[in-house]
Chains A and B, each alone.
Chain A
């Protein structure tokens, strides 16, 4: 019998259901799967940033022990290129440049890591050995390794179809109104910055297994994906021409994604296509260095901003010019990141009446860049929140008061920004006040003085931010260039004895959906958590869903489940009315119990489900048997989490090392389903934000070689680089989804980098530092402290 324990519902810090298998080594990640007769693929990649392929000689490789086949771009000619899922239009209305992204290089390589050939062999070691025997005759070409290089006159052209290496030249906002606002300005503050390129580095390297069944003609792809249906659609329809019904995509346990596992990658198409050639399953698993040079990177913007202010410190207008690096090819959602996920966020939490932003997207001979935790919103937040500090300093106003003065008032919601978005709810004053108190902002100067007495430089920094997630209304994003709908699907299957299986189109790769989504069901249907199973990540089991990214799983996927539960309850009431001989209107439902209003006549959900599957006494002419409902939910708007992050840092002037002393986050993520999981999501996001601010940077040399191409060279945050993160929430409910939820997956990575850099700049204020670029490494800071202003990091 189903008896709900009340602490399992919404608001309970339930310990995670998925943990037991992960903690005992029984997780099933893609590389843990071994198919009968499985072979192994090695992918030979370009060592050059830009080169013509004169010839490829695979003769020796094919003769190596254990080798089944070697394929090159010529073998895959006729296969479609990897498609791009979002089309941006230029200022003049023409579409962006969208050059082909071959699965295996066709005549030319365009970045270090570009796949050139694949070896299929009995073992991984044999495949690798044979890969080393492939002889590729390259004619190296000059590379456009940076956006600077790519935009120079006479620069090497990454693609013939993209003159000047320009993908698009886009804008948003009212330029005439902006010019008018600037003409009235008392003061204009200018600021330039680079948002450093990052490597997502989910701990599980990407992997894929392709399997072809010659008898049925069915294909199965096991892959490290955040959205198996999207991969099935893109790869089946656009690359390999396999009907959906003949292609199953399974994304089993996935070890972190952070965006990097959204996209359709070449290796998925290669192993699927090649498995039909060798008639054996083929596994490919990335080595970490391959991940560095083939997983989509994140960020990489260069921006210039100007803020117009009146004499009282009110913002009159904001003008932004941004260059966004696309890398060598357009990754699946790359074009929308620096446009509709970035420039539309430039109002932030402020009443800026006019905004105009221009964005140029640039091809370079580097790994493609796409969404990474926050995607566009961290870049907007960083630009804006650094600019707010710079502006406050220039007009001599306290940085907190300057922010407060420009906040969107509590009673102004729904609030229409000048850059398309309409915020439904928020209270930025409340999150600010709570964070100031939690961080003991007032007591900081005493702590600064105490640190100074010990020879240390202490600083405190703040960021008041907002983001747009829960993506997204399909018609809206369609009008903006998305080539997909962004609804979500949920099926609630109540079994005869009252346990529940949920099928969701979202995917969990660390977020804890097996727990949080089950809590939604426990809360509403009164089923114990132990009797609820969440199924995701398999196109053969789950209806067509759009996956997990943009903090959408709860806001969109959870809402679909909510709608499906509405249908379950409505049907259950009809069945209950029949069983209790009452009218449907008189039947109430609350957490597992159907009751005839005002009486003690009740039926449990289990009574109803049993009646539905054993319909002996059942209105079979009016109601279908069974108790299973599916709902598709298309959100009405984005959701708008926001809040305040405060970083406190201490710098050792002798070494330039920044130590995190404290970090306070007060976020409004809407209704909180599992506070423990929300806290974990925020802590993890903040860690990535601190990583960006202090440690991480993907660096290319002038020839386009990736210098930071391994975990020995790229500084990942470790336990002793970080300090405790204090997390609190202050809730205003989302007004347009049935759960009132907003999303918590990205807030940490969005709000934190400017808070950290604002703190570093604050710590260095006696050195006349206006800005320091991310990552604020010891070398940059040591130069500032010891080299004087001339060597400042700017």
Chain B
């Protein structure tokens, strides 16, 4: 069986996989990192989005063996070791941007990459278009869009702390 060595959330792993094993299967089944979800089989829903070298990728659309030497971050690796949430995680909670939570890990990972790729900030329309690869069936996206805008303000230094949602 092929072997792959990769770093996940700062820890190096060497794992035996089948050639057909997908990255998402490696994460969920071999490393038991079940925060990364599978919501479709056609690369449509984005529930499986993780970061590879800082870029968001769909973990259902890449083979584990393609990840040799890769640096992967999953939803489990976002918060600081003391439990402090990433501003994007905090914003999702503050703006009620999640309901059932199933799309949430992928949505958060996509959102962080989206903000990072737009250092000058994002308009509402740019956020909506940037979420093209992520489906949510619960929220209608509106609160997700608001959360991303609020998190971007913190991530990009325009605010020192997260703006509270309107009551």
Using C-beta atoms within 8 Å of the partner chain, give the interface range for chain B: 35 or more
In the complex, which of the residues B76, B136, B138, B145 has the most CB atoms of chain A within 10 Å of its own CB atom?
Answer: B138
Q: Which of A23, A287, A684, A718 contacts B89 (CB 8 A)?
A: A23
Q: How far, in angstroms, from A510 to B37 measured CA to CA in the complex? A: 16
| A22 and B140 within 8 A (CB) | no
| A711-B37 contact in complex given A683-B142, A719-B141, C-beta closer than 8 Å | no
| A204 and B128 within 8 A (CB) | no
| A24-B20 contact in complex given A288-B41, A720-B132, C-beta closer than 8 Å | no
Q: Which of B37, B47, B76 contacts A24 (CB 8 A)?
A: B76
Is B155 part of the contact surface with A, judged by Cβ < 8 Å? no
| A204 and B132 within 8 A (CB) | no
Q: Mark A706-746, 1 if CB is under 8 A from B, else 0.
A: 00001110001111101011000000000000000000000
Which residues in B have their C-beta under 8 angstroms from that of A13?
165, 167
Which residues in A have their C-beta under 8 angstroms from that of B41?
287-289, 710
| B142 and A722 within 8 A (CB) | yes
Is B16 part of the contact surface with A, judged by Cβ < 8 Å? no
Q: How far, in angstroms, from A19 to B94 measured CA to CA in the complex? A: 10
Name which of A25-33, A376-384, A516-524, A697-705 contacts chain B. Answer: A25-33
| B98 and A254 within 8 A (CB) | no
Q: Which of A253-285 contact B (CB under 8 A)?
A: 253-256, 258, 285
| A722-B35 contact in complex given A255-B102, A256-B100, A676-B165, C-beta closer than 8 Å | no
Q: Which of B68-86 contact A (CB under 8 A)?
A: 74-76, 78-79, 85
Which residues in B have their C-beta under 8 angstroms from that of A205?
38-39
Which residues in A have their C-beta under 8 angstroms from that of B104?
22-23
| A203 and B35 within 8 A (CB) | no
| A720 and B108 within 8 A (CB) | no
| A720 and B40 within 8 A (CB) | no
| A716 and B89 within 8 A (CB) | no
| B101 and A18 within 8 A (CB) | yes
| A203 and B141 within 8 A (CB) | no
| B79 and A24 within 8 A (CB) | yes
| A683 and B47 within 8 A (CB) | no
In the complex, which of the residues B28, B41, B78, B94 has the most CB atoms of chain A within 10 Å of its own CB atom?
Answer: B41
Q: How many residues on chain A are close to B (CB under 8 Å)? A: 61
What is the distance, in angstroms, from B5's C-beta to the closest C-beta of chain A? 22
Which residues in B have their C-beta under 8 angstroms from that of A20?
85, 93
| B99 and A680 within 8 A (CB) | yes
Is A201 part of the contact surface with B, judged by Cβ < 8 Å? yes
| B139 and A710 within 8 A (CB) | no
| B138 and A684 within 8 A (CB) | yes
Q: How far, in angstroms, from A31 to B132 measured CA to CA in the complex? A: 26
| A712-B42 contact in complex given A203-B135, A204-B102, C-beta closer than 8 Å | yes
Q: How far, in angstroms, from A683 to B97 measured CA to CA in the complex? A: 11
Is B131 part of the contact surface with A, judged by Cβ < 8 Å? yes
In the complex, which of the residues B100, B127, B139 has the most CB atoms of chain A within 10 Å of its own CB atom?
Answer: B100
Q: How far, in angstroms, from A670 to B10 measured CA to CA in the complex? A: 49
Is A789 part of the contact surface with B, judged by Cβ < 8 Å? no
Q: Which of B38, B45, B131, B141 contacts A687 (CB 8 A)?
A: B141
Is B36 part of the contact surface with A, judged by Cβ < 8 Å? yes
| B128 and A719 within 8 A (CB) | yes
Q: How far, in angstroms, from A29 to B105 measured CA to CA in the complex? A: 13
Which residues in A have their C-beta under 8 angstroms from that of B101?
18-19, 21-23, 27, 253, 255, 510
Is B61 part of the contact surface with A, judged by Cβ < 8 Å? no
Q: Which of B102, B143, B165 contacts A683 (CB 8 A)?
A: B143
Q: Which of B40, B100, B105 contacts A25 (CB 8 A)?
A: B105
Q: Which of B139-167 contact A (CB under 8 A)?
A: 139-145, 165, 167
Q: How far, in angstroms, from A720 to B128 measured CA to CA in the complex? A: 5
Which residues in B have their C-beta under 8 angstroms from that of A239?
none
Is A573 part of the contact surface with B, judged by Cβ < 8 Å? no
| A679 and B96 within 8 A (CB) | yes
Please give me the residue from chain B that is nearest to A711 by CB atom: B44
Which residues in B have their C-beta under 8 angstroms from that of A512?
99
In the complex, which of the residues B37, B96, B134 has the most CB atoms of chain A within 10 Å of its own CB atom?
Answer: B96
Q: Which of A479-538 contact B (CB under 8 A)?
A: 509-512
Please give me the residue from chain A that is nearest to B94 by CB atom: A15
Is B52 part of the contact surface with A, judged by Cβ < 8 Å? no
Is A202 part of the contact surface with B, judged by Cβ < 8 Å? yes
Is A246 part of the contact surface with B, judged by Cβ < 8 Å? no
| B98 and A22 within 8 A (CB) | yes
| B140 and A725 within 8 A (CB) | yes
| A684 and B139 within 8 A (CB) | yes
In the complex, which of the residues B20, B92, B137, B167 has the most CB atoms of chain A within 10 Å of its own CB atom?
Answer: B137
| B128 and A256 within 8 A (CB) | no
Is A450 part of the contact surface with B, judged by Cβ < 8 Å? no
Is B112 part of the contact surface with A, judged by Cβ < 8 Å? no
Q: Which of A204, A289, A680 contacts B96 (CB 8 A)?
A: A680
Which residues in A have their C-beta under 8 angstroms from that of B102?
27, 29, 202-204, 255-256
Q: Which of A1-58 contact B (CB under 8 A)?
A: 13, 15-16, 18-29, 31-32, 34
Q: How far, in angstroms, from A287 to B6 measured CA to CA in the complex? A: 27
- Interface residues in chain B, defined as those with a beta carbon under 8 Å from any beta carbon in chain A: 18, 20, 28, 32-42, 44-45, 47, 74-76, 78-79, 85, 89, 92-94, 96, 98-105, 108, 125, 127-129, 131-132, 134-145, 165, 167
Interchain residue pairs A-B with the least CB separation, the first 10: A25-B35, A255-B102, A22-B101, A687-B140, A510-B100, A510-B99, A32-B34, A25-B75, A711-B44, A288-B40
Interface pairs (19), CB distance under 8 Å: A15-B93, A16-B96, A22-B101, A22-B104, A25-B33, A25-B75, A203-B39, A204-B39, A288-B45, A677-B96, A681-B99, A683-B140, A683-B142, A687-B139, A711-B40, A711-B45, A718-B131, A720-B128, A724-B142
Q: A26-B76, A255-B102, A256-B99 are in contact. List 20 more A-B contacts (CB 8 A).
A: A16-B93, A16-B96, A29-B102, A203-B37, A203-B137, A255-B103, A288-B40, A289-B41, A510-B100, A511-B99, A676-B167, A679-B96, A680-B99, A683-B140, A712-B42, A718-B135, A719-B128, A719-B144, A722-B141, A748-B140
